[in-house]
Structure 1
């Protein structure tokens, strides 16, 4: 490698394959290191993606997804590891996308140090797939709002998710002070293109041979059907679950039910509402105009950002996910109940659970 070492900061967006990319980077950290590419972790007990998540929380001054204070000091710890690393470094977490200018400037300044060149990588996806996926993700995380309420907030640009998706806004903030050749937009391939294509595009953006990470990721963040999302939304309300999640509910509802037991069922998908077609098309053209005018580096094709006609359902009888038949809800609810019953029977007794929590607490203290 000639020239300064490079720090690639992958800032999202959410629902663009970030879980897959982060897991593949983590699984292949050793072989990547042999080729001069570092994906820094914090040591035993804390995976690299979790470390990057906590560092992002700390940078943004946020504290969710764990016990109070769990992210404190993580940003400084990540910066130290970046500065000790030799060669290129990749950092990735999607909650960075809507960061305010002050935090974005701090991140670029502290990661660059005296000897590195910071590059911004942003993965972008068409709104026809991204908005439905974002609503489902928000429900997985504890939200109780209807699809109609969520999409209204998106159109008013009041949703955290849309602030993360708004390519011109996000990249205007993060590209400040950087030449366009250090800002990379990776377009998510159209549905049916094959899983490896996103990986190949990401590797091209960071100047990496895809073969340097031979172990495939098995992690996905799959979408749910309309009935399953409705059941989760109602379950959140019944449990009093919120977006500021408890660890116990998050493990059971999000990780166990939403990402394992309720996926892959023969259920109606959640589409983009027909009333948003024109708005989504106009937003996409605004994105594309910004990309072309800014001269940032594009890996893929900006046409991938357009809402494909094949993704559009019928305007009449489009399958409103806020109006799922009770029989469909009951079917999904019984699947969830059966899964929870099996899980309850499998779990250890309260005393054993307490011992496990104490051991886990000791490990957390050791890793800090």
Structure 2
């Protein structure tokens, strides 16, 4: 592997990582399921303290998703209101307001930029002075990404089972069904190549995330930004937890019913994803007896082979590499086929159902932009639901 990094840098030793020049605009592009939500939460929570050390978080939220979706010409999640160019322009204004200070932006949806032209426009618009944007790509082993990405697609309406989904991704050319975005995001060598081709290899850093070091990514960001060690800390986020196999299968079967009955996407966004699923994730914590999504051996082995190939290609691109590239061909223990079948607990199903009912009571389906159920208190939801039930009884 030919890079300009020291051996300690390649191992991801934060003490040996040279910080980026003052005034850099660090652009973290993900991709998905590589620690993005964790680092976004930590950066947003520490934004005031970071500013005292000369580093700005220009976005007004933890994740400027709408702005980035607009920049990448992408629609939002199923049933959500499409973002507009106005969202992106507002974020650009906030970035420009940081002046000559160092700033950092993070969104996994930057990885969805469809082509060189879009990437070039993003870099140029963020780069008030040429050479200030530095692109950061975080990577994890493909075999660890696949189950998380499948259940995330299910949360956006996917109806295909996990093994069938893996078969399409890994065994059926051109490997684009049912989710073309997967390989656009997670063929990591091509992702790095696209951004390096536009921004320049010298302005791209690849960080290989070590899942055994829970705070390693925090320390790496601190080192790159010149922040004191320990300034960034993980922020608990139950709404971002992965679904168990039983929860995902319940939702997948609901998706089948939803599609078969041709219900409107707006209804799915409000009652299912932001109602039932969000309430279930916020109020139910998986226990040791809950079955996780297990990947079959053939898929783990296929992912390891692709990971090794991607690592070799990235190593020859001339980009800065932090971490052990050999981790990209690692993965979890394969599923044995002896695990208990997915069974959802009655209280979990009840909480999911309540989430949908509460969302129906609190948010009129015809209302374009309204609060989701997790943004309202339980007292509010109960009052609204009770009021609506009484009103309907009187009408009858």
Aligned to 1:161: 182
Matched, 1:234 2:253: yes
Give the 3 Å change call, closer, same or farther, for CA 353–147 of structure 1 in structure 2.
Answer: closer
Gaps of 5+ in 1: 362-368
> What SS does structure 2 have at the residue aligned with 1:5?
coil
Report the Cα distance in structure 1 between the residues aligned to 2:300 and 2:368, rounded to whole angstroms. 51
CA offsets, 1:55-80, max 9 Å, x none? 11111222324653444411111111
> Contact 1:5/1:115 (CA < 8 Å) preserved in 2?
no
Aligned to 1:212: 231
Aligned mates of 1:344, 1:83 — CA distance in 2 = 41
Shift of 1:291: 2.1
d(CA) in 2 for partners of 1:208, 1:70: 33
Q: CA deviation at 1:263?
A: 3.4
Spell out, residue by residue over 1:323-363, the C-alpha distance to the aligned partner (whole angstroms, 9 max, x if none).
x74xx43xx16233321455578x5995x756xx79958xx
Partners of 2:327 and 2:321 lie apart in 1 by 11
CA distance in 2, matches of 1:22, 1:348: 27
The whole-number CA distance in structure 2 between the counterparts of 1:225 and 1:68 is 28
Cα distance in structure 2, aligned partners of 1:152 and 1:242:
29
Q: Secondary structure at the match of 1:9?
A: strand
Counterpart-to-counterpart distance in 1, 2:198 and 2:353: 55
CA shift for structure 1 position 135: 0.7
Aligned to 1:366: none
Q: How does 1:140-179 map to 2 (within 5 A)?
A: 140-155=155-170, 156=173, 157-158=175-176, 159=179, 160-179=181-200
- Residues 143 and 242 in structure 1, CA contact (< 8 A), matched pair in contact too: no
The partner residue of 1:120 within 125, 135, 146 is: 135
Secondary structure of 1:172's partner?
Answer: helix
Matched residue, 1:303 = 326
CA distance in 2, matches of 1:230, 1:96: 29
SS in 2 for 1:186: strand
Q: Which residue of 2 aligns with 1:195?
A: 214
Match of 1:77 in 2: 90
Q: Counterpart of 1:232 in 2: which secondary structure? A: helix
Matching residue of 1:268: 291
Aligned residues of 1:262 and 1:335 also touching (Cα < 8 A):
no
Establish whether residue 222 from structure 1 lines up as the match of residue 244 from structure 2: no
TM-score (norm 1): 0.81
Structure 2 unpaired stretches of 5+: 1-18, 372-396
Q: Following TM superposition, by how much is the alpha carbon of 1:108 offset from its aligned partner in structure 2, in angstroms?
A: 0.7
Mark the structure with the bigger radius of gyration: 2
Describe how 1:92-107 pairs up with structure 2 within 5 A: 92-99=106-113, 100-107=115-122
Name the counterpart of 1:108: 123
Alignment of 1:280 onto 2:303: yes
Match of 1:136 in 2: 151
Aligned equivalents of 1:180, 1:358: Cα separation in 2: 43
Does the 8 Å contact 1:184/1:205 carry over to 2? Answer: no
CA shift in 2, pair 1:174/1:358, >3 Å = closer
2:347 to 331, 335, 341: 335
Q: Deviations over 1:19-42 (max 9, x none)?
A: 111111111111111111111124
- The alignment's TM-score, normalised by the length of structure 2, stands at 0.75
Q: CA deviation at 1:318?
A: 5.7
Question: How far apart in 1 are the matches of 2:309 and 2:359?
Answer: 54
Please, what is the CA RMSD of the aligned residues? 3.0
How many angstroms apart in 2 are the aligned matches of 1:344 and 1:145?
Answer: 23
